[in-house]
């Protein structure tokens, strides 16, 4: 009668809620750093304006630090969606408060 013992799933070490975004120190730093086009001063609006020429993924190059999330290709230069000119990715970050 009690032959069949049902083993309840013992939930290993799985957290209940989503853990992504728990460490937001990096995000806070991103927010303090302004991102704008060195050529026309267009300010980044946190939308995915960039497409990978290699695998055609659409992504926000400033979230991934100029690396394609799909094929992991890194882009040294970033195209401005506003003035369509290329600038070095590093030149887009400007620290001011
Ligand atoms: Zn790609
Ligand atoms: Zn521009």
Q: 11-25, 35-49, 61-75 — which is least confidently predicted? A: 11-25
pTM above 0.75, yes or no: no
> Average model confidence (pLDDT) for the chain?
82
Using CA atoms, how far residue 39 sits from 15, 46, 76, in Å, is: 45, 18, 16
CA of 34 to the centre of ligand 2 (A): 14
Q: Cα(97)–Cα(94) distance, rounded to whole angstroms?
A: 10
Instruction: Say what the pLDDT of residue 48 is.
Output: 97
**pLDDT of 36 strictly over 90:** yes
Ligand number nearest to the C-alpha of 80: 2
CA of 77 to the centre of ligand 1 (A): 14
Instruction: Check whether 19 has a pLDDT greater than 80.
Output: no
- Cα-to-chain-centroid distance, residue 97: 22
Cα(7) to centroid(ligand 2), Å = 61
Predicted local confidence at residue 31, as pLDDT: 57
Ligand number nearest to the C-alpha of 53: 1
């Amino acid at each position: 009668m009690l032959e069949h013992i049902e083993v309840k799933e013992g939930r290993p070490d799985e957290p209940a809620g989503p853990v992504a975004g728990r460490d937001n120190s990096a995000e806070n730093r991103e927010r303090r750093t302004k991102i704008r086009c060195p050529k026309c001063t267009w300010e980044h609006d946190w939308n995915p304006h960039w497409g990978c020429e290699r695998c055609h993924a659409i992504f926000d190059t400033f979230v991934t630090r100029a690396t394609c999330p799909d094929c992991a290709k890194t882009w040294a230069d970033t195209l401005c969606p506003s003035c369509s000119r290329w600038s070095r990715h590093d030149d887009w970050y400007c620290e001011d408060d």
